[in-house]
Structure 1
Amino acid sequence: MSMSPEIMKRYLHLPTAQEIWSALSKAFYDGSDELQVFTLNQKVFTAKQNDRSLSEYYGELTKIFCELDHRDKIVMKDPEDIAAYQKSIERPRVHIFLAGLGGDFEQVQGEILRKGPLPDLEECYALIR
């Protein structure tokens, strides 16, 4: 990341890098990741395989999903609740993955969606590759 010269001028007088980062954080970070979460969701909802390989497309999605997971503020301790929550986020992720595949995967999309229970994202990727 880089900083524009106009912004840099405002903070260059500070004596240490730590003080510069602290001042920048106060000025530009509102304590919320909502904008980043919105941007990541926008990327994931519009992601398409297009002319990329299946592994490139899957890699892009899993990277975004990891970033979203990192920003998730839900704290659970009960193993059953954790498992239920993970299952609840897997379903839309599988749908997003399948929806972004190229047209030549239409048949396998239908086969996966007819499976009971719906496989998780990794299983879907394994079935398709």
Structure 2
Amino acid sequence: MGEENAITLINKLDFGDPLYLHPSDTSSTPLVSIKLKGTEKYKIWSRSVLLALGIKNKVGFVDGTCVKNANDEILFKQWDRCNSVVLSWLLGSIADELYAGLIFFENASTVWTELKETYDKIDGSIIFNLHFNISTLKQGNSSLSEYYHKLNSMWKQYDATANLKQCTCEAADQTVKHNSMLKLMQFLMGLNDCYMHVKSNLLLRDPLPDVKTTYSVLSREESQRGLSTTNNKPQTSVFMSQVESNYNDPTR
């Protein structure tokens, strides 16, 4: 096939074809903003990479489902080009100390598998560190929103790391309620003292609210009244009364 026909064939590839390369899909374009440094952040890194590759329709180059077309020389070469781009993205998203050990691999899927087999490891120290960070996290100088979202992110990371299976037994609902209660307690324990009276009243509720409901109530009232985490006690009392009113008002 001549060069002109080859260019025509490549130009006919659309966005839905994994062999399609957008002009912005170059080896110099970072794939994700974070870099893999070892075992601890592998789950977050791999999830971020898969999301980015999914947008570009290039997941097949790391999971091995996109294979070379040996019957078409042009598409064969286009696969090589796409593989090189994906490979460069992967190598560009890992720390320098990991780079040297992977630079001589030729396939993106081989590098992906190597990274997974090496760093997708869960041991007691990783679980311990995550659980410790969750248990000791305090609001401090953070806003209510910053504190909640940081804690929520850590919960999700813990769940992904622990890789717990979905419970289908009769106790499933009770397990979900128990985990919800634990998260509520963790969230309330880390709040600043200006929420002390609010926490006490929320804990008297039966059933207990979940974390999202609790955060929503606190956030809405904080926004409406301009309450900061360093407000004085009289303002906190007014805030508590308002929370009580809104929590009991089904129209809000």
TM-score, length basis structure 1: 0.80
Percent identity between matched residues is: 24
In the alignment, which of 145, 152, 156 is matched to residue 66 of structure 1? 156
In the alignment, which of 107, 112, 123 is matched to residue 202 of structure 2? 112
Once residues 52 and 111 of structure 1 are traced to their aligned partners in structure 2, the CA distance between those partners, rounded to angstroms, is 23
Runs of 4+ in 1 over 4 A off after TM superposition: 33-36
1:128 aligns with 2:206: no
In the alignment, which of 105, 111, 117 is matched to residue 20 of structure 1? 111
* Correspondences of 1:76-87 after superposition (within 5 Å): 76-78=167-169, 80-87=170-177
Higher relative contact order (Cα pairs below 8 Å, separated by 6+ residues):
1
Letter in structure 2 aligned against 1:28: Y
Unaligned 5+ residue runs, structure 2?
Answer: 1-34, 36-93, 220-252
Unaligned 5+ residue runs, structure 1?
Answer: none
SS in 2 for 1:10: coil
> What's the counterpart of residue 184 of structure 2?
94
> What's the counterpart of residue 4 of structure 1?
96
1:39 aligns with 2:129: yes
Count of residue correspondences: 126
SS in 1 for 2:111: helix
Letter in structure 2 aligned against 1:3: A
In the alignment, which of 51, 58, 73 is matched to residue 141 of structure 2? 51
1:31-69 deviation per Cα after TM superposition (whole angstroms, max 9, x unaligned): x36554433322211211112211111111222222333
Name the CA shift for 1:122/1:33 in 2 (closer, same or farther; >3 Å).
Answer: farther
Once residues 125 and 112 of structure 2 are traced to their aligned partners in structure 1, the CA distance between those partners, rounded to angstroms, is 20
Q: CA RMSD in A?
A: 2.2
The structure where helix makes up a greater share of residues is 1
In the alignment, which of 75, 90, 93 is matched to residue 166 of structure 2? 75
> What's the counterpart of residue 231 of structure 2?
none
> What's the counterpart of residue 193 of structure 2?
103
TM-score, length basis structure 2: 0.44
> What's the counterpart of residue 82 of structure 2?
none
